[in-house]
Amino acid sequence: MYFTEYLPRLRSISVIIETKCTINDLINIKLNSKNQLLIKFHDYETLVNLPVQVKNDGNIRIANAHKIEDCLQLTISLTTYDSIEISEKTESFMNFSSSNLVQKWSCKDLKAKTPQTNNKNNFKFTCLHCSHEIIDSQEYNRFLDMPSELWSEMMEFWHCHKPAGEHDHQDSHRNYNGSLKPGDTDVIIGSYYLLISRCAQVEISNQDIKCVSCKHNLGILDNSIMKVFKWNLALKYHNNIETFPSYIYVYNLIVDKINLSAIRKFNITSESRQDNIFIWIMNIGVDVSTENFVLNNSLKVFYYHDDIKGISNEDESIESLVLQDDVFNDFLKELSKINSFIPNLKKKMTLKVDEELRIFNVSFIAGL
């Protein structure tokens, strides 16, 4: 088991490998490819995938190497010459939104990967549970990205006045009551939802949007607009089928909160109030890897799940969030899964919260 983390401010990559070998057993370390290390010991050798690419010139600079408990810890020193895709990733918590990240199933994402038919991108959104077709791109004239997930939050700070004069009624995706409304042939795409005004493939029951075929909940009715959550859909194009893990929604939600108010601590509760989790965002835009995955532009998360009752809800530095039960469970499952792939040396961290020392689990969450 291994874990690597790119540290841009230090121009280095930290590598931790669980092994019984000592420093004296280490024979050689070299780049096997632009994003992979080959580490040789007396008895065996191992490949380590790196979270960023490094120029393969045959040389590797080890700034530090030592053994801690059952882990070998290495620090690879980098220079500007070494980097291929390494940039000055020094975003603060207040400007992380400026990163040129393409959100999953945004207009830019859909345009880049789906085929075109008659100058229109050809794809379908289907019910995740029964594969019934919900939205066919050929039946809609426009797909529009939500201006910003901060847009609705910022609307609370000013009053929207309807213009006194005539305005363009054709611009049907705008109104003047502080909300966006798609036209009959439009779909507005947010970070975790689709907004539609008409769709024959869904039905409305109370405030729930249901698949007309299997009756599974797809979303909610919000100010007379159908809001369909991406994690209840599948995207189909060519022979490809994509799904949208609901933890991506939580990632986007947290990033929006960080950009709006620089909040880094969150008390997250399930909608049924049956479960809670406290998370502390320690870093943003983090690139890490293990033998099971590579995560880029992720959030480094310290989370505490065992008992958060002692954590004050009145602390203004802590934001309270409520998630649907299935979304909460998926988010916690993803945090736990990532944590399970981290070596024991880095799996937990002790921090003081409300004057009490608590042992946090370490994890990462990515938006793609």
Q: Are residues 253 and 232 in the same domain?
A: no
User: Which uninterrupted H or E stretch holds 51?
Assistant: none
> Using CA atoms, how far apart are residues 356 and 67, in angstroms rounded to an integer?
30
β-bridge mates for residue 323, sequence order: 270
Domain that holds residue 36: 2-77
3-state helix, strand, coil in the chain (%, to 5): 20, 45, 40
pTM above 0.95, yes or no: no
Q: What is the pLDDT of residue 322?
A: 92
Q: Are residues 137 and 113 in the same domain?
A: yes
DSSP H helical ranges for the chain: 107-113, 151-154, 246-261, 325-340, 344-347
The letter for the amino acid at 132 is: H
Identify whether the C-beta of residue 284 lies closer than 8 Å to the C-beta of residue 299.
Answer: yes
Q: Which residue has the higher pLDDT, 177 or 212?
A: 212
Q: Is residue 89 part of a domain?
A: no
CA distances 323 to 12, 273, 309, 367, Å, are 37, 10, 18, 17
Q: Is residue 206 part of a domain?
A: yes
β-bridge mates for residue 357, sequence order: 352
DSSP string of 308-341, one letter each residue:
-TTS-SS-TTEEEEEE-HHHHHHHHHHHHHHHHT
Q: What is the pLDDT of residue 53?
A: 87
What is the Cα Rg of the chain in Å? 24
Q: Is residue 227 part of a domain?
A: yes
> Using CA atoms, how far apart are residues 338 and 292, in angstroms rounded to an integer?
9
Identify whether the C-beta of residue 139 lies closer than 8 Å to the C-beta of residue 187.
Answer: no
Q: What is the pLDDT of residue 166?
A: 46
Q: What is the phi-psi region of residue 203: left when phi exceeds 0, alpha when psi lies from -120 to 50, beta otherwise?
A: beta
Of the residues 192, 208, 243, which one is the last residue of a structural domain? 243
Q: Are residues 223 and 319 in the same domain?
A: no
Q: How confident is the model at residue 159 (pLDDT cuts 50, 70, 90)?
A: very low
Q: Are residues 228 and 266 in the same domain?
A: no
**Max CA separation in the chain (angstroms):** 81
Q: What is the pLDDT of residue 85?
A: 53
Q: Are residues 234 and 250 in the same domain?
A: no
Q: Is residue 164 part of a domain?
A: no
The letter for the amino acid at 319 is: E
Q: What is the pLDDT of residue 160?
A: 43
Q: Is residue 95 part of a domain?
A: no
Q: What is the pLDDT of residue 108?
A: 92
Q: How confident is the model over 98-157, as pLDDT tens digits?
A: 445 678 999 999 999 999 988 889 999 999 999 999 999 999 999 998 876 555 554 444
Q: How confident is the model over 15-63, as pLDDT tens digits?
A: 999 999 888 888 988 888 888 999 999 988 999 999 998 876 656 788 8
Q: Are residues 282 and 360 in the same domain?
A: yes
Q: Are residues 267 and 358 in the same domain?
A: yes
Residue 76 has pLDDT above 70, yes or no: yes
Q: Is residue 130 part of a domain?
A: yes
Number of domains in the chain: 3
Q: How confident is the model at residue 278 (pLDDT cuts 50, 70, 90)?
A: very high
Q: How confident is the model over 208-261, as pLDDT tens digits?
A: 999 999 999 999 998 889 999 999 999 999 999 999 999 999 998 998 888 888
- Give the number of other CB atoms < 10 A from CB of residue 145: 15
Of the residues 77, 96, 114, which one is the last residue of a structural domain? 77
Give me the CATH number covering residue 115: 2.170.150
Q: Are residues 239 and 109 in the same domain?
A: yes
- Dihedral sign from CA coordinates of 234, 120, 204, 211: negative
Strands 36-41 and 142-145: unpaired
Q: How confident is the model over 282-337, as pLDDT tens digits?
A: 999 899 999 999 999 899 999 988 655 546 566 778 889 999 999 999 999 999 99
Q: How confident is the model over 192-210, as pLDDT tens digits?
A: 999 999 899 999 988 999 9
Q: Is residue 88 part of a domain?
A: no
Enumerate residues 6+ apart whose C-beta is below 8 A from 91: 98, 99, 284, 285
Of the residues 191, 214, 243, which one is the last residue of a structural domain? 243
CA 201 to chain centre: 29
Q: Is residue 20 part of a domain?
A: yes
